[in-house]
């Protein structure tokens, strides 16, 4: 026997209690990680280089206000822009969905949009050409295609929830490899046609020549359209998404606050039970003291035990969350509300830090008692 195995034997002395302690730590840390993941998903913008290069131009009034199509000629003359395309959020209800369709449909100009969707893989040259050539066709993200079991050549019907027209589109290609492999892209021309050519688009989507150029481009655009009948707000895709996030307002704070409450409740309950486990062995600690164990050595025993239990709980809870969210199809489970549900190293770090704090705190009370009470008192207390 050695000290580590003595600690292990102590920790497992009451197997049921050790199990319950570990499980309650695990459960709470699982919850903590889940909340963090959900919060990140709701609030964290896409962070790739492309999201700083791509720019979205919307009406200054709001996203819901359309822009005049004639702005395209002006945009084409602004320097620093590699590509620009109409980009209208159709927001239709896919046939068969009850209330809510989780993937977006965007009307674009396929020719002009090519540089913007260059990271999309899986669509052949022929399919791209076919898409460009056929006004009523579309390309679809693989996630959505998989979810509804769709393949190239299938037709999709939509009811317009924002635009007063319905759509029927043929799938020309299925892509993957972009930041959001759910979306559907179809022809702005087709949308214009169905609406009777109103001469408007939802937003403009454009690609800046370089990251350095991007802020200059947004500036130029904003200035160019200032004091016209349709003033615009141009911003990088990243800033655009961040702006959307800020609209969640107090809900963000609420989820953050609840995470804190969860952690606090966990600390409270676990510290209490784990200290209890040690408090019950008070007399034994007194005997160890009589045999010649010093305070320092007893502290190590106590700390190692509660620390070990807490860490084990973290391993199961946070590790479990990591394994689970890496292996399940979260998109399917939440009908597309959550996309990635990724557990980041920071979250695991946080969970383990909380566990470490827990281990420390549960050891503190018994340690203070051990330090304070003499052997004689210790032997008496539980006699």
Stretch 14-73 residues interacting with other proteins (CB under 8 A): 16-17, 20-21, 23-24, 27-28, 30-31, 34-35, 60-65
Q: Are 284 and 71 in contact (CB under 8 A)?
A: no
Candidates 96, 125, 151, 247; binder of other proteins (CB under 8 A) is 247
Within residues 185-224, the interface with other proteins by CB under 8 A covers none
Nearer to other proteins, 131 or 307 (CB): 307
> Should residue 273 be labelled a site residue for other proteins when binding is judged by CB under 8 A?
yes
Interacting stretch for other proteins, rule CB under 8 A, among 2-10, 75-83, 131-139, 217-225? 2-10
The whole-angstrom separation of Cα 272 and Cα 260 is: 18
> Should residue 1 be labelled a site residue for other proteins when binding is judged by CB under 8 A?
yes
> Should residue 249 be labelled a site residue for other proteins when binding is judged by CB under 8 A?
yes
> Should residue 111 be labelled a site residue for other proteins when binding is judged by CB under 8 A?
no
> Should residue 2 be labelled a site residue for other proteins when binding is judged by CB under 8 A?
yes
> Should residue 338 be labelled a site residue for other proteins when binding is judged by CB under 8 A?
no
CB of 341 to other proteins, least distance (A): 14
Nearer to other proteins, 132 or 224 (CB): 224
> Should residue 93 be labelled a site residue for other proteins when binding is judged by CB under 8 A?
yes
CB of 37 to other proteins, least distance (A): 13
CB of 35 to other proteins, least distance (A): 8
Candidates 258, 323, 328, 333; binder of other proteins (CB under 8 A) is 258
Which residue in 198, 183, 379, 383 sits closest to 286, CA to CA?
A: 379
> Should residue 288 be labelled a site residue for other proteins when binding is judged by CB under 8 A?
yes
CB of 9 to other proteins, least distance (A): 5
Neighbours of 344 (CB within 10 A): 14
Within 8 A by CB and 6+ apart from 121, the residues are: 175, 176, 177
> Should residue 82 be labelled a site residue for other proteins when binding is judged by CB under 8 A?
no
CB of 152 to other proteins, least distance (A): 28
As to burial, measured by CB atoms within 10 angstroms (0-12 exposed, 13-18 middle, 19+ buried), residue 326 is exposed
CB of 335 to other proteins, least distance (A): 11
> Should residue 316 be labelled a site residue for other proteins when binding is judged by CB under 8 A?
no
> Should residue 344 be labelled a site residue for other proteins when binding is judged by CB under 8 A?
no
Nearer to other proteins, 80 or 86 (CB): 86
> Should residue 230 be labelled a site residue for other proteins when binding is judged by CB under 8 A?
yes
The whole-angstrom separation of Cα 336 and Cα 342 is: 14
Nearer to other proteins, 17 or 170 (CB): 17
Q: Are 115 and 82 in contact (CB under 8 A)?
A: yes
The whole-angstrom separation of Cα 352 and Cα 341 is: 19
Rg (CA), the chain: 30
> Should residue 256 be labelled a site residue for other proteins when binding is judged by CB under 8 A?
no
> Should residue 130 be labelled a site residue for other proteins when binding is judged by CB under 8 A?
no
Nearer to other proteins, 133 or 258 (CB): 258
Which residue in 382, 366, 227 sits closest to 306, CA to CA?
A: 366
The whole-angstrom separation of Cα 87 and Cα 151 is: 24
Which residue in 210, 234, 213, 204 sits closest to 222, CA to CA?
A: 234
And the tokens for 40? Answer: 């990140």
Which residue is it, tokens 């399940």?
328
The whole-angstrom separation of Cα 312 and Cα 306 is: 10
The whole-angstrom separation of Cα 221 and Cα 54 is: 14
CB of 98 to other proteins, least distance (A): 12
What's the number of CA atoms in the CB half-sphere (13 Å) around residue 175? 25
Q: Are 349 and 39 in contact (CB under 8 A)?
A: no
């Amino acid at each position: 026997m050695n000290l580590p195995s003595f600690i292990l034997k102590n920790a497992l002395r009451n197997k049921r209690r050790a199990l319950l302690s570990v499980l309650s730590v695990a459960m709470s840390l699982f919850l903590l990680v889940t909340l963090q993941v959900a919060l990140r998903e709701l609030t964290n913008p896409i962070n790739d280089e492309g999201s700083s290069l791509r720019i979205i131009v919307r009406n200054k009034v709001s996203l819901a206000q359309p822009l005049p199509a004639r702005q395209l000629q002006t945009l084409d003359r602004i320097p620093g822009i590699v590509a620009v395309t109409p980009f209208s959020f159709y927001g239709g209800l896919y046939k068969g969905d009850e209330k809510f369709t989780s993937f977006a449909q965007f009307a674009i100009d396929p020719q002009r949009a090519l540089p913007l969707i260059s990271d999309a893989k899986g669509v052949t040259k022929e399919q791209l050409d076919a898409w460009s050539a056929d006004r009523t066709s579309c390309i679809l993200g693989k996630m959505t295609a998989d979810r509804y079991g769709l393949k190239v050549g299938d037709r999709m019907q939509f009811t317009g929830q924002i635009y007063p027209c319905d759509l029927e589109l043929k799938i020309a290609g299925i892509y993957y490899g972009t930041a959001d492999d759910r979306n559907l892209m179809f022809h702005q021309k087709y949308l214009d046609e169905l609406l009777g050519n109103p001469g408007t688009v939802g937003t403009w989507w454009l690609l800046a020549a370089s990251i350095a150029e991007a802020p200059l481009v947004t500036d130029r655009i904003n200035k160019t359209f200032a004091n016209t009948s349709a003033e615009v707000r141009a911003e990088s895709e990243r800033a655009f998404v961040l702006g959307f996030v800020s609209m969640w307002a107090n809900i963000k704070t609420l989820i953050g606050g609840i995470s804190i409450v969860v952690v606090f409740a966990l600390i409270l309950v676990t510290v209490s039970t784990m200290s209890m486990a040690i408090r019950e062995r008070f007399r034994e600690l007194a005997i160890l003291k009589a045999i010649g164990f010093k305070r320092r050595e007893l502290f190590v025993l106590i700390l190692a035990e509660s620390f070990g239990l807490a860490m084990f709980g973290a391993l199961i809870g946070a590790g479990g969350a990591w394994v689970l969210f890496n292996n399940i199809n979260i998109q399917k489970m939440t009908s597309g509300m959550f996309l990635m549900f990724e557990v980041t190293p920071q979250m695991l770090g946080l969970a383990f830090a909380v566990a470490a704090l827990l281990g420390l705190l549960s050891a503190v009370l018994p340690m203070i008692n051990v330090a304070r009470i003499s052997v004689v008192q210790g032997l008496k207390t539980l006699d």
